[in-house]
Amino acid sequence: MRILVLAGFFLLGAVAPSHAGVFGDDLTRCLVERTTKEDRAELVRWIFVAMAQHPLVSSMSNVKADEKEKANKEVGALFMRLLTDTCKDKAKAAIKAEGAAAIQLSFQVLGQVAAGEIFADPSVVAVMSGIDKHVDNEKLKELGGGIGAN
């Protein structure tokens, strides 16, 4: 149970574990390569459900109790499948050689890959591009390095 909670923090880089070694890298590759687009979508939904509970954004979302439970159930099953079946040998080797931090870092990378797919969606890009009309490109140009250039 603790590993699932910790994995949630590490999925988005909330805590930076130590540098991964070769076994952790192997596990990371396995997690990323062996998850499907739907697996990663489940992961992103779970992250969203969890983040939507924070007081800063909870008024912007109305996630129902059954949706929270469904997200937890699906991602719990995904974690278990990945760690005890799909990538079992890689997980065992990583834990033995590098400790729990290897698991945490591997799931952090998987979470980043999953989030990257969401941020690449045209509708998400369109909303995020809305910031353009609220920044002063002339002031940004003063920083140099191509910042503020159109």
- As given in the structure block, the two tokens for residue 98 are 């590098």
Predicted confidence (pLDDT) per residue in 37-60, tens digit: 999 999 999 999 999 999 999 999
Grade residue 5 by pLDDT with cuts at 50, 70 and 90.
very low
Sign of the four-CA dihedral 125, 130, 135, 137: positive
Q: What percent of the chain has pLDDT over 90?
A: 68
Tell me, rounded to whole angstroms, the distance of Cα 118 from its chain centroid: 10
User: Can you give the three-state secondary structure of 118-144, one letter per residue?
Assistant: HHCCHHHHHHHHHHHHHCCHHHHHCCC
pTM as predicted: 0.78
Q: Are 141 and 147 in contact (CB under 8 A)?
A: yes
Grade residue 91 by pLDDT with cuts at 50, 70 and 90.
very high
